[in-house]
Structure 1
Amino acid sequence: MEVAVYTIEGKETGRTVALDESIFGIQPSRQALYLDVKRILAHKRQGTHKTKERAEIARTTKKHHRQKGTGGARHGSLKSPIHRGGGTVFGPRPHDYVVNLNAKTIRLARKSALSTKAAESAIKIVEDFTFEKPKTKDFLNILKNLQIADKKSLVVLSEKNSNVYLSSRNLERSKVVIASELNTYQIISSQVLLISESALGKIKDQLNN
């Protein structure tokens, strides 16, 4: 699959690059996509939820009222869950939500996500670029020139670039990542991928290993 390479001014360079069919042209696996997205979202959960159970409540151990003769139920502790301020029954406890997935399935999920975007013509290739200093206006101008400013975009660079990252940080609908950190959830949750020429090679090397 051949796609045009654009400049940051939004003009075609007259060159094209070939998208690897083994990465951008496979039949997407819905199961792999589901499992990898589940893994990514699960890893974002802190798992620090906690409520106090009966044994952890700090209240008096004195018997609430006498056993017989009150006409009411028998009560032996105010820590009981049936009392206001008592412990929670089977409340949440801290635990992790780690979902283990083998590397082969993770690679298949990323390829499936990229192939889906390629089939939707939602991938644009741009010449490598950088900024002398962080400036949101310059980054926004690139998006406008490429006619993707009104879409949720994911900009993929080959390596870390602080000036580009800082320029994009205030834009709610755009995110900058480097090729080695690109994941399935980022791909499918964006409307368009803007990939730099050098990042394309990094993606190929990463997913064909």
Structure 2
Amino acid sequence: MDNRQESTIKSLVTNLNEKVGNLFKYHGEIAKQLFLTDGFNIEGRVDISAERKYLGEILKYIPDSLKIELVDEHCTTTNFHEADFSTIQHANIFEEDNLIMTIIVYDVEDEMWMFRWNHNIRLPEKHIYFHSIKWDVDYIKPEIVLMYELLEPTNYHKIPNYRSVLDALSYYQFMTLRTIVGDDRINQAVRFEKRVI
């Protein structure tokens, strides 16, 4: 990542934290970093997660210089008038051709968060995240981050530090993850990570 792109990402994160920080939670690598070390280092693409009803408000604070792609199960579009916001799975934010942020959309019904890949898997929404007092940000719990990463249909193997996150999970967190994704996916990710290291 070059200095300009890093500066753009940091500026975007600062702006979103200041303007709509209460409407989203950090996801992906940053969530894992916050869980493991209470660190908040922006060193590449940033993933955040937001309830569907807040997506439009968050997107208002993405600078016009960046390209926004709305993605659902069937298509990707940059035209907000064509998009059906009720089916958007995530929004990708690009600087030129470089993906710098993904906003993962989740649904809530009767105050229950629903897992995107299976709406029968539900948790009270207030139980899907932790809060970092040091950084004053919310972040998705690691077992939920891993649910998304391990069940994502494309290239979940590219994401590092599964072993350290798995080792830091409580028994309840690990059993929740294991019940949802299964032993095979967990073991496959750990084996792949060992080969890369």
The TM-score bracket by the shorter chain reads under 0.3
Higher relative contact order, structure no. (Cα contacts within 8 Å, ≥ 6 residues apart)? 1
Query: TM-score, normalized by length of structure 1?
Result: 0.22
Q: Is the strand fraction higher in 1 or 2? A: 2
Higher Cα Rg: structure 1 or 2?
1
Query: TM-score, normalized by length of structure 2?
Result: 0.23
